[in-house]
Structure 1
Amino acid sequence: MARRQRERHEKDDEKLRIRGIQPRSVPWEGTMIPLHQMRFLRLVNRTSDTVLYLVRKTSVLRRSQPEFNFPAISFQMRIVGLTGGIGSGKSTVSNLFKAHGIPVVDADVVARNVLKKGTGGWRKVVAAFGDEILLASGEVDRPKLGQIVFSDPDKRQLLNRLLAPYISSGIFLEVFKLWMKGCKIIVLDVPLLFEAKMDKWTKPIIVVWVDPETQLQRLMSRDGTTVEEAESRINAQMPLDLKRSGADIVIDNSGSLEDLHERFRDVLVHVRKPLTWTEFGLSRNGAIVAFVSILFGVVICRKAL
């Protein structure tokens, strides 16, 4: 009986490892307990300091010595680049990542924050485009600004140049916050991932692709625009086929929502696979290990001199 219980507990230890919890290294041993002490026994959680499991009326299995058991600390981080085109369904994929507990840094949210009244980005944009882009509250009329820049490539490039430093800094700040929390996986949802040259900081790069006809129909249905307006907005962006050529993973979203969910499950498996040493080096704990290693090396060298 004791042998079977020991085997069962060893299997439980393996389950703990799979869940990211490091089980205790000390073995289990059988111990006979007098009958008059049986009523004082109490089963407790097996991750506490003393663990007792009843085997028979007079026998228990317990650890041969007490040992602290802490959850295993992850030393890894992966920065995933997510991009696509307008009407491709990128936001839906972004929300799926969030639903599965993976933090997402949304460049559109950062861009809205850097355009808030009184910010540096707001002042530069107002100086370049004039007060006519402002609402009565003083905030930027984003739809109106969008109409201006999507109809004029030069003004669109000007807007990108003005806001790029603020957006980049905002994204870096959000990533840094998640890095400090020790997040293992971070998704960067950036529509201009390739245009802003941010693709070199992300791996893998996921492109949400859709065929041009479906993209046009979805955009017209979503925004209630004409064919000409929808085509103008699509043509203002890098072609999806070109983005597709630079992707590590392509999600074809030309089908139904159920098809997208099925493809996303495969992507999720790939994103959650074991990380490389390079990704470990980019993590918070990797930086700590590097710092401690350097400090240790300096101390050793000083002692050797």
Structure 2
Amino acid sequence: MLVVGLSGGIAAGKSTATRQLIGLGIPVIDCDRVAHDTACKGAWGYRRIVAAFGPGILTETGDIDRARLGQLVFADAAARRRLNKATHAPVAVELLRQLLGHWLCFRRLVVIDMPLLFETGTYKLASSNVVVACRPELQLQRVMLRDSCSAADAKARIAAQMPLERKMQLADVVLENDSSLEQLQEQVLELVATLRKKSQSMKHWLLSPAGVAAGLLGVVLLGRAAWQSVR
């Protein structure tokens, strides 16, 4: 299974590329959705977040006040590290579970859409990593427009992430989103054609790091199910 990591800077166009990949029939694991689901009330991630920040971040109904939590972590690097520490393990387990499902279904190509792909080291699971990038001044304008915020707030949100230049250095492929939507779409089409050709090799299904990790997780889960069945 050829596993491809996809990341990018805030407002650089990663979500646009992801939607096109899905439209082309490429399986995509949305790690933002995974993080959201694992932080729902009662979930493992929820309990870890509440333990890290206290009940003050909860709404009256007991759900996590995501807007308040977001304000906390954007303004405080230490709080951001605390949140990442609380959520990384639940997200990683769910990511591997979904990879296992694709592996068992003999998928030849799967994309991991993850904003913190490089920060968390998840890029090491992938056979290839892609970054969607744009010029710094254009990124600033897009953040201000998208979030209806000041230049200072936009710069703070950009600074909260790993520098885009560093992500580009770590990536195998960079999609430049400095021009029109059509230009980005053409790059995505070329990328998909290359990845599909590469994924035809059976060794990617058997021996990719993510495939091996998913397989090992499958062995653990099957062993656990067998043990519980005889208890």
**Could you say whether these structures have the same fold, taking a TM-score greater than 0.5 normalized by the shorter chain as the test?**
yes
**Cα contact 2:38–2:91 (8 A) shared by 1:** yes
Of 1, 13, 18, the residue aligned with 1:94 is: 18
Q: What secondary structure is seen at the aligned counterpart in 2 of 1:274?
A: helix
Residue matched to 2:180: 256
**Cα contact 2:5–2:113 (8 A) shared by 1:** yes
Q: Hey, what's the Cα distance between the residues in 2 that align with 1:274 and 1:178?
A: 17
Q: Hey, what's the Cα distance between the residues in 1 that align with 2:137 and 2:61?
A: 39
Q: Hey, what's the Cα distance between the residues in 2 that align with 1:122 and 1:116?
A: 6
Structure-to-structure mapping, 1:1-305, within 5 angstroms:
77-275=1-199, 276=201, 278-282=203-207
Q: What secondary structure is seen at the aligned counterpart in 1 of 2:5?
A: strand
Which structure shows the bigger proportion of residues in helix conformation?
Answer: 2
Alignment deviations for residues 248-305 of structure 1 (CA, whole Å, 9 cap, x no partner): 110001111111111111111111113345413238xx98xxxxxxxxxxxxxxxxxx
Task: Name whichever of 122-131 and 243-252 sits farther off.
Answer: 122-131
Give the deviation of 1:131 after TM superposition. 2.5
**Cα contact 2:106–2:205 (8 A) shared by 1:** no
What's the TM-score once normalised by structure 2's chain length?
0.86
**Higher alpha-carbon Rg:** 1
Give the deviation of 1:237 after TM superposition. 0.5
Letter in 1 for 2:168: R
Alignment deviations for residues 10-32 of structure 1 (CA, whole Å, 9 cap, x no partner): xxxxxxxxxxxxxxxxxxxxxxx
Q: Hey, what's the Cα distance between the residues in 2 that align with 1:216 and 1:166?
A: 32
Alignment deviations for residues 35-74 of structure 1 (CA, whole Å, 9 cap, x no partner): xxxxxxxxxxxxxxxxxxxxxxxxxxxxxxxxxxxxxxxx
**Matched residues, percent identical?**
41
Letter in 2 for 1:282: L
Residue matched to 1:10: none
Q: What secondary structure is seen at the aligned counterpart in 2 of 1:102?
A: coil
Letter in 1 for 2:136: P
Alignment size in residue pairs: 209
Q: Hey, what's the Cα distance between the residues in 2 that align with 1:99 and 1:78?
A: 19
Letter in 1 for 2:48: K
Q: What secondary structure is seen at the aligned counterpart in 1 of 2:149?
A: coil
Q: Hey, what's the Cα distance between the residues in 1 that align with 2:27 and 2:60?
A: 35
Which consecutive unaligned segments of at least 5 residues does structure 1 have? Answer: 1-76, 288-305
Q: Hey, what's the Cα distance between the residues in 2 that align with 1:269 and 1:150?
A: 38
Aligned Cα root-mean-square deviation (Å): 1.6
- Higher relative contact order by CA 8 Å / sep ≥ 6: 1 or 2? 2
Q: Hey, what's the Cα distance between the residues in 2 that align with 1:274 and 1:123?
A: 41
Q: Hey, what's the Cα distance between the residues in 2 that align with 1:157 and 1:282?
A: 33
**Cα contact 2:73–2:83 (8 A) shared by 1:** yes
Q: Hey, what's the Cα distance between the residues in 2 that align with 1:274 and 1:130?
A: 47
Give the deviation of 1:135 after TM superposition. 2.2
Give the deviation of 1:183 after TM superposition. 1.2
Q: Hey, what's the Cα distance between the residues in 1 that align with 2:205 and 2:44?
A: 35
